[in-house]
Amino acid sequence: MPSPSMTLFHSPSSPFVRKVMVLLHETGQLDRVALEQVQLSPTSPSEAVNAQNPAGKIPALRLADGSVLHDSRVILDYLDQQHVGDPLIPLQGPARWRRLSLASLADAILDAAVLIRYESFLRPPDKRWELWQEGQQAKIERALQQFENEAIAELACHFDIAAIGVACALGYLDFRQPESNWRQRYPQLADWYAEVSQRPSMQATQPPA
Ligand code: BEZ
């Protein structure tokens, strides 16, 4: 087996890293990427990550030539162009923009959920701002409602960039908001997620217990 030519800065609890890992599984590219484990948060940055990505964020992917890609969307786009199977990001036409917009809405769920996590876990209790957290949670609920009402059939038809994003977003809600009970409010999403979460790519990338 050839040795990996790329290095992914990785944390098993990052939902953005999980998207990249799921795509690697789905496209048969796992053996091309070595994982470098890092631990970081806004208040406890990783020097190793900062040296690769000035924004201090993961995922970051170092390529064979030493250049570094960062932001999960950029990395997913790059990796989707490195395999010979059907692309998980449509190459052109309305499908491309629709699937990328759905993926972007899934990322908005993640952005809001990660901010809530930081606010409720990292910020000292006397400095927390409930109204701000409610605003983030409202974004999550609007996005979930939109997936429930308008995108279930589209998600179900192909486990692609959009479906990977939504599946990782729902997985992160289960991980960091186990009390949120989203399945009751969004039953179609719950049924869809019950199915896709059984995929080997999702099983192999579950956040830590
Ligand atoms: C988390 O542990 O929730 C987390 C880790 C890395 C990035 C975002 C979230």
What is the residue extent of each domain of the chain? 6-80, 93-199
CATH topology identical between 6-80 and 93-199: no
| pLDDT tens per residue, range 40-63 | 999 999 999 999 999 999 999 999
3-state secondary structure of 81: coil
Q: What is the DSSP string of 124-154?
A: -GGG--HHHHHHHHHHHHHHHHHIIIIIHHH
Atom 5 of ligand 1, nearest CA residue:
14
Residue from 31, 36, 30 nearest 7 by CA: 36
| pLDDT tens per residue, range 143-163 | 999 999 999 999 999 999 999
Ligand 1 atom closest to the Cα of residue 40 is 6
Tokens matching residue 206: 């579950």
Q: Tell which one of 13, 119, 121, 123 to mutate to probe ligand 1, the residue whose CB is within 8 A of the most ligand atoms.
A: 13
- Within the chain, strands assigned E span 6-10, 33-37, 60-62, 68-70
Average pLDDT, the chain: 97
| pLDDT tens per residue, range 118-146 | 999 999 999 999 999 999 999 999 999 99
Second-level CATH architecture of 6-80: 3-Layer(aba) Sandwich (3.40)
Return phi, psi of residue 34, to 5°. -90, 145
Within 6 A (CB) of ligand 1 lie: 11, 13-14, 114, 117, 176
Distance (Å) from CA 119 to ligand 1 centroid? 12
What are the Cα distances from residue 141, in Å, to 105, 130, 169? 11, 16, 12
pTM for this structure? Answer: 0.97
Residue from 192, 171, 200 nearest 18 by CA: 171
Distance (Å) from CA 204 to ligand 1 centroid? 18
pLDDT of residue 2 exceeding 80: no
pLDDT of residue 74 exceeding 80: yes
Second-level CATH architecture of 93-199: Up-down Bundle (1.20)
